[in-house]
Structure 1
Amino acid sequence: MPWVRPYVRSDGTPVRGHSRWAPGARRELTIFGVVALAVVGLGNGNGSAGGERVPRPQSTVQYPIRFDDVPAARVSKPRPTVSYPIRWER
Structure 2
Amino acid sequence: MPWVRDYVRSDGTPVRGHSRWAPGARREVTIFAGFALAVVALGNGSTTAGSGGEAPRPQPTVQYPIRFDDAPPPRIQQPRPTVSYPVRFPQTGNR
Indicate the TM-score class for this superposition, using the shorter chain for normalisation: 0.5 to 0.7
User: Could you tell me which amino acid in structure 2 is paired with residue 44 of structure 1?
Assistant: N
Q: TM-score, normalised by structure 2?
A: 0.50
Give the deviation of 1:45 after TM superposition: 1.9
1:4 maps to 2:10: no
Give the deviation of 1:46 after TM superposition: 2.0
Alpha-carbon distance in structure 2 between the residues aligned to 1:46 and 1:10:
60
Which residue does the alignment assign to 2:29? Answer: 29
User: Could you tell me which amino acid in structure 1 is paired with residue 27 of structure 2?
Assistant: R
Over alpha carbons, which structure has the higher Rg? Answer: 2
Which residue does the alignment assign to 1:20? Answer: 20
Unaligned stretches of 5+ in structure 1? 57-90
The count of corresponding residues between Structure 1 and Structure 2 is 53
Alpha-carbon distance in structure 2 between the residues aligned to 1:45 and 1:3:
41
Unaligned stretches of 5+ in structure 2? 58-95
Which residue does the alignment assign to 1:40? Answer: 40
The Cα offsets for residues 27-53 of structure 1, whole Å up to 9 and x where unpaired, read as: 1111111000100010012227xxx44
% identity of equivalent residues: 77
Alpha-carbon distance in structure 2 between the residues aligned to 1:41 and 1:3:
34
The Cα offsets for residues 10-35 of structure 1, whole Å up to 9 and x where unpaired, read as: 11101111111111111111111100
